[in-house]
């Protein structure tokens, strides 16, 4: 066919459609006339001839439809026709349309929101250049159950020197400084990094340069690189900042660069970078492991190859330095895995949850469509009689359902937008890459794709069901009574909805229970009415340990004198804040074991009054007082250490040698109760406490137990610190309740999200079963009327209708329980203090769902009992 004639036909068929159609009608009409005449000539009566002609033609409209189907542009024309028709019929039933669109929007919106999180956190590549070649290098020690332990500077230097797999090899550690330039004194987190750090990550500064090797040596000139945030907030985005000096912790640093916005390495709170300046001449094997090392693989080298090389190096180091390295190896973790590794299971569980919500929404809308199709039977029969083939009817119905789904999807994108805002507001700040979550084109494509798919899924069964109406019945009788097939499907959908909702509720129930278990864990201290705050002295100003001890002593005296304060104390590392210090120790009565075989303990420095302020009970002996000075040789241990190492003797008066400078024997003077140091979910470790003057840390966390609302104390407390030193910043002012809450923010977030989704699922499923039961009760109006006329009491009717719905509900719950038992196993690692097959959760959740279904069944059943039998019998 020539292009010209094709174009002409398309033009004629679409633009002059009316004309073409009239033409066709006339042509087929004339055919019938001619045929009738021919048959009359052959001897039939006019009536017989006309009838025979009609039979032979087989339906004028069908013939016309066949002709149309063969025309150019037919598909397009049909599509627009279906679209117009679909829009019209959706507009005619606004209640139905609104219900369906809202159900779909909830399902699709939840999916888009969670997908945008997955997209931002898991799928989008990291903000580093060629991030797939970046690996974290940790130390590992299987005996101690550590796979990602901080790295010793000595081992870092040896790995770097001896390995050939890496282009660059860098190390960092996080610390804090007091920034006094550019405004009020402020304690900020900084990262000390080796010179290669920025080239490992492949991110150049937006202004100035990164560190050069000469700056990364002990005693070198002191350079600093600012984060974009710090540059904007403290230095007003000054474009000439490079080369200028700033003062931090009493030292003068020269700004050499500013990093681009959003740049960070494992810690989003870091505001500046300072050279690490490790001195290779130092004997680092006298010190602990505290670095994080990160390296860039040479191109062509795989993680496995690099791991194999480091295994060999670590083995040699183990042999060369058995005291320090026995049992220790190297462990490579790809950067992406490092950042998202522990959030991935949570996100996948959430994705499964929202997929379930969407499936429930689909089942709901499919049921709505089935009910509606019953009332549309007459219309569909008419269309079929007018020549629409079955495919055409199915296509029409699918166009409508896809249209619904796309409307739902469009609304869903808005819901997702708000959902993401809510998510970000609720999310704990230790979820990685939160700032990268947005609705980007990938999320939009995902939404469009699931909308189309959804439309096809929920539209298919209703379309297949209702596209084969029994023409004569449907036209004759009026739309009464649905076919057995569609009732079966409706029931199946209800069962499926119930089962899906149950699985979701079980998941949410387990998370909630697990969270409450976590919440009830005994911390070992009393969080009620306690304010905490952190004070870090600048080393340059307080070089002498005695100065630091004096400062904290005087500060504590001033704070204790504040009205409303009952007890005050301070500790180097506050429990549950992540940071901590630990080492190994020996009993003085035991031979001096090498470090790698000695038991480990947490190490804390405290001021007198700390235990009272925290509410930690003193079990034996005494606590510290002002007489325990810099040269005191006493310590307090916790219950776990006492139980483990002095199981049968009195620990008081026993002596420990802690691997810490100076290495001397200390006498145990007291035993206190255990506290949760690292996390609520973890068992307490052995711990020792020293009086602060003996180990005069430059930073301490004050703990104020008060008789009044602790939050009202903060201004006065800061004023007392400033009275001692106006340039001294005070950081992390919060209540002890907030500290604990923050430590379990992530499980709370998981539980909250799953609970929201499960709630949506419960509502959707209840609405779904209500819709079906309501419809079925309406369908049975006449039957119910007969029963009542024959003497059935309202109670019987109630039982009849509710019983039918509850049978479906219970079937759904049974299937849901079986599915849950199989599916919740994947959540095992996310749970605490509750198993994935927790019986109380299963029972409670089944009860909730049954109650919801009962209410949904009761309303239509109740309505049925109020029928007037006379009216019911006449009901059409």
Partner 1 sequence: MSNQDEFTADLLQGTLDLLVLKALAAQPLHGLGVSTRINQITKGTFDVKPGSLFPALHRMEEAGWLKAEWGESENNRRAKFYSLTKAGRRQLETETEDWQRISLAIGSALRAT
Binding site for partner 1 (CB under 8 A): 1-2, 5-6, 9, 23-24, 26-28, 30-31, 33-35, 37-38, 56-59, 62-64, 66-67, 69-72, 389
Spatial separation of the C-alpha atoms in residues 35 and 324, rounded to whole Å: 107
Q: Which is nearer to partner 1, 46 or 66 (CB)?
A: 66
CB of 461 to partner 1, least distance (A): 25
Spatial separation of the C-alpha atoms in residues 159 and 398, rounded to whole Å: 63
Spatial separation of the C-alpha atoms in residues 398 and 369, rounded to whole Å: 11
Q: Tally the C-alpha atoms within 13 A of residue 332's C-alpha that lie toward its C-beta.
A: 24
Q: Residue 763 class from Cβ within 10 Å (0-12 exposed, 13-18 middle, 19+ buried)?
A: middle
Q: Which is nearer to partner 1, 11 or 579 (CB)?
A: 11
Q: Phi then psi for 587, rounded to 5 degrees?
A: -75, 140
CA 525, distance to chain mean position in Å, is 30
Cα angle 709, 713, 714 (rounded to 5 degrees) comes to 125
Closest CA to 837 of 353, 355, 500, 513: 513
CB of 69 to partner 1, least distance (A): 7
Backbone CA torsion sign across 409, 415, 421, 425:
negative
CB of 12 to partner 1, least distance (A): 9
Q: Residue 595 class from Cβ within 10 Å (0-12 exposed, 13-18 middle, 19+ buried)?
A: middle
CB of 11 to partner 1, least distance (A): 11
Helix (H) or strand (E) holding 372: helix 344-375
Spatial separation of the C-alpha atoms in residues 491 and 129, rounded to whole Å: 55
Q: Strand pairing of 618-621 and 565-571?
A: unpaired
Q: Tally the C-alpha atoms within 13 A of residue 672's C-alpha that lie toward its C-beta.
A: 27
Q: Which is nearer to partner 1, 75 or 822 (CB)?
A: 75
Q: Which is nearer to partner 1, 55 or 281 (CB)?
A: 55
Q: Which is nearer to partner 1, 23 or 311 (CB)?
A: 23
Using DSSP's 3-state secondary structure scheme, residue 345 falls into: helix
CB of 350 to partner 1, least distance (A): 51
Q: Which is nearer to partner 1, 202 or 389 (CB)?
A: 389
Q: Which is nearer to partner 1, 30 or 45 (CB)?
A: 30
Packing angle, helices 545-560 and 714-724, rounded to 10: 140
What residue has token string 């510290």? 624
CB of 71 to partner 1, least distance (A): 7
Contact 576, 735 (CB under 8 A): no
Q: Which is nearer to partner 1, 30 or 851 (CB)?
A: 30
Q: Which is nearer to partner 1, 64 or 124 (CB)?
A: 64
Q: How many helices (H) and strands (E) does the chain have?
A: 28, 22
Spatial separation of the C-alpha atoms in residues 349 and 508, rounded to whole Å: 10
Cα angle 168, 307, 128 (rounded to 5 degrees) comes to 40
CB of 462 to partner 1, least distance (A): 24
- Buried b / exposed e across 222-247, counting CB within 10 Å, b at 16+? ebbbbbbbbbeebbeeeeebbeeebb
Cis peptide leading into residue 511 (ω within 30°):
no
CB of 453 to partner 1, least distance (A): 32
Q: Which is nearer to partner 1, 65 or 550 (CB)?
A: 65
CB of 41 to partner 1, least distance (A): 9
Spatial separation of the C-alpha atoms in residues 833 and 840, rounded to whole Å: 13
Spatial separation of the C-alpha atoms in residues 51 and 522, rounded to whole Å: 92
CB of 34 to partner 1, least distance (A): 4
Contact 530, 706 (CB under 8 A): yes
Q: Which is nearer to partner 1, 65 or 436 (CB)?
A: 65
Q: Which is nearer to partner 1, 32 or 618 (CB)?
A: 32
Closest CA to 440 of 409, 413, 467: 413
Q: Which is nearer to partner 1, 71 or 655 (CB)?
A: 71
CB of 25 to partner 1, least distance (A): 11
Residues in the chain: 876
Contact 606, 651 (CB under 8 A): no
Q: Which is nearer to partner 1, 67 or 411 (CB)?
A: 67
Q: Which is nearer to partner 1, 6 or 554 (CB)?
A: 6
CB of 385 to partner 1, least distance (A): 13
Packing angle, helices 74-92 and 390-426, rounded to 10: 60
Contact 770, 505 (CB under 8 A): no
CB of 793 to partner 1, least distance (A): 53
As a whole number of angstroms, the longest Cα–Cα distance in the chain is: 134
Q: Which is nearer to partner 1, 64 or 298 (CB)?
A: 64
Spatial separation of the C-alpha atoms in residues 651 and 618, rounded to whole Å: 13
Q: Which is nearer to partner 1, 37 or 229 (CB)?
A: 37
CB of 396 to partner 1, least distance (A): 18
Spatial separation of the C-alpha atoms in residues 752 and 511, rounded to whole Å: 8
Q: Which is nearer to partner 1, 48 or 477 (CB)?
A: 48
CB of 465 to partner 1, least distance (A): 21
CB of 57 to partner 1, least distance (A): 5
Q: Phi then psi for 376, rounded to 5 degrees?
A: -100, 5
DSSP 677-731: -S-TTSPPPPEEEEETTTT--SEEEEEEEESS-GGGGHHHHHHHHHHH-TT--EE
User: How far is residue 185 from each of residues 274, 536, 726, 730, measured CA to CA in Å?
Assistant: 18, 11, 9, 9
CB of 84 to partner 1, least distance (A): 24
CB of 45 to partner 1, least distance (A): 18
What is the Cα Rg of the chain in Å? 38
């Amino acid at each position: 066919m020539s292009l010209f004639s094709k174009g002409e036909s398309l033009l004629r068929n679409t633009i002059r459609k009316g004309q073409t159609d009239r033409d066709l009608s006339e042509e087929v009409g004339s055919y019938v006339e001619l045929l009738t005449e021919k048959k009359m000539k052959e001897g039939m009566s006019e009536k017989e001839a006309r009838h025979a002609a009609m039979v032979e033609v087989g339906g004028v409209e069908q013939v016309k439809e066949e002709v149309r189907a063969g025309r150019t542009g037919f598909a397009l024309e049909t599509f627009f026709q279906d679209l117009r028709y679909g829009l019209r019929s959706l507009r005619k039933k606004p209640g139905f349309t609104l219900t369906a669109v809202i159900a779909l929007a909830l399902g699709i919106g939840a999916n888009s929101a969670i997908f945008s999180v997955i997209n931002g956190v898991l799928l989008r590549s990291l903000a580093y250049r060629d991030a797939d070649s970046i690996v974290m290098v940790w130390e590992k020690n299987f005996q101690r159950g550590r796979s990602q332990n901080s790295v010793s500077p000595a081992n870092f230097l040896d790995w770097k020197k001896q390995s050939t797999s890496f282009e660059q090899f860098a190390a960092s550690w996080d610390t804090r400084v007091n920034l006094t330039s550019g405004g009020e004194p402020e304690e900020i987190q900084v990262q000390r990094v080796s010179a290669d750090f920025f080239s490992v990550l492949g991110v150049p500064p937006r202004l100035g340069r990164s560190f050069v090797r000469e700056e990364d040596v002990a005693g070198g000139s002191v350079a600093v690189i600012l984060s974009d945030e710090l540059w904007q907030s403290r230095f007003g985005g000054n474009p000439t900042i490079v080369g200028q000096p700033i003062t931090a912790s009493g030292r003068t640093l020269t700004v050499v660069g500013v990093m681009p916005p959003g740049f960070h390495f494992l810690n989003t709170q870091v505001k500046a970078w300072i050279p690490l300046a490790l001195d290779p001449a130092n004997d680092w094997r006298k010190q602990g492991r505290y670095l994080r090392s990160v390296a860039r693989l040479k191109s062509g080298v795989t993680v496995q190859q690099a791991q194999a090389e480091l295994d060999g190096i670590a083995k040699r180091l183990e042999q060369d330095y058995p005291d320090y390295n026995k049992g220790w190896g190297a462990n490579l973790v790809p950067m992406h895995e490092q950042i998202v590794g522990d959030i991935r299971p949570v996100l996948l569980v959430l994705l499964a949850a929202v997929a379930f919500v969407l499936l429930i929404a689909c089942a709901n809308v499919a049921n709505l469509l089935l009910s509606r199709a019953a009332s549309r039977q007459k219309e569909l029969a008419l269309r079929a009689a007018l020549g629409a083939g079955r495919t055409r009817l199915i296509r029409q119905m699918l166009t409508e359902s896809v249209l619904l789904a796309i409307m739902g999807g469009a609304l869903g994108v808005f819901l997702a937008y708000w959902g993401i805002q809510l998510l970000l507001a609720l999310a704990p700040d230790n979820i990685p890459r939160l700032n990268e979550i947005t609705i980007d084109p990938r999320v939009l494509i995902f939404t469009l794709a699931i909308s189309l798919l959804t439309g096809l899924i929920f539209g298919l069964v209703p379309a297949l069901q209702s596209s084969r109406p029994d023409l004569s019945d449907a036209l004759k009788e009026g739309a009464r009574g649905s076919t057995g097939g569609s009732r079966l499907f409706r029931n199946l959908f209800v069962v499926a909805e119930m089962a899906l909702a149950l699985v979701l509720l079980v998941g949410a129930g387990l998370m909630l229970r697990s969270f409450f278990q976590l919440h009830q864990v005994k911390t070992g201290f009393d969080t009620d009415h306690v304010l905490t705050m952190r004070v870090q002295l600048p080393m340059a100003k307080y070089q002498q340990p005695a100065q630091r001890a004096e400062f904290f002593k005087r500060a504590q005296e001033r704070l204790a004198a504040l009205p409303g304060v009952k007890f005050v104390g301070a500790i180097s590392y506050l429990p549950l804040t992540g940071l901590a210090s630990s080492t190994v120790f020996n009993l003085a009565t035991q031979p001096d074991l090498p470090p790698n075989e000695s038991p480990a303990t947490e190490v804390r420095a405290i001021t007198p009054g700390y235990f009272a302020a925290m509410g930690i009970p003193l079990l034996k002996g005494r606590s510290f007082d002002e007489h325990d000075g810099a040269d005191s040789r006493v310590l307090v241990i916790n219950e776990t250490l006492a139980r483990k190492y002095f199981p049968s003797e009195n620990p008081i008066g026993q002596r420990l040698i802690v691997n810490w400078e100076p290495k001397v024997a200390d006498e145990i003077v007291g035993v206190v109760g255990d506290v949760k140091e690292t996390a609520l979910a973890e068992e307490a470790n052995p711990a020792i406490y020293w009086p602060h003057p003996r180990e005069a840390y430059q930073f301490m966390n004050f703990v104020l137990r008060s008789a009044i609302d602790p939050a009202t104390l903060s201004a006065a407390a800061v004023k007392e610190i400033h009275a001692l030193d106006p340039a001294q910043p005070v950081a992390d002012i919060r209540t002890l309740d907030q500290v604990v809450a923050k430590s379990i923010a992530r499980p709370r977030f998981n539980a909250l999200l799953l609970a929201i989704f499960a709630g949506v699922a419960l509502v959707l499923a209840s609405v779904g079963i209500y819709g079906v039961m309501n419809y079925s009760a309406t369908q049975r109006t006449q039957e119910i009327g007969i029963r009542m006329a024959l003497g059935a009491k309202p109670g019987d009717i109630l039982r009849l209708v509710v019983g039918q719905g509850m049978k479906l509900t219970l079937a759904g719950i049974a299937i849901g329980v079986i599915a849950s038992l199989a599916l919740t196993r994947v959540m095992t690692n996310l749970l605490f203090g509750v198993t994935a097959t927790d019986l109380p959760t299963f029972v409670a959740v089944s009860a909730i769902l049954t109650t919801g279904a009962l209410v949904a069944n009761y309303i239509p059943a109740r309505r049925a009992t109020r029928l007037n039998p006379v009216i019911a019998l006449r009901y059409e």
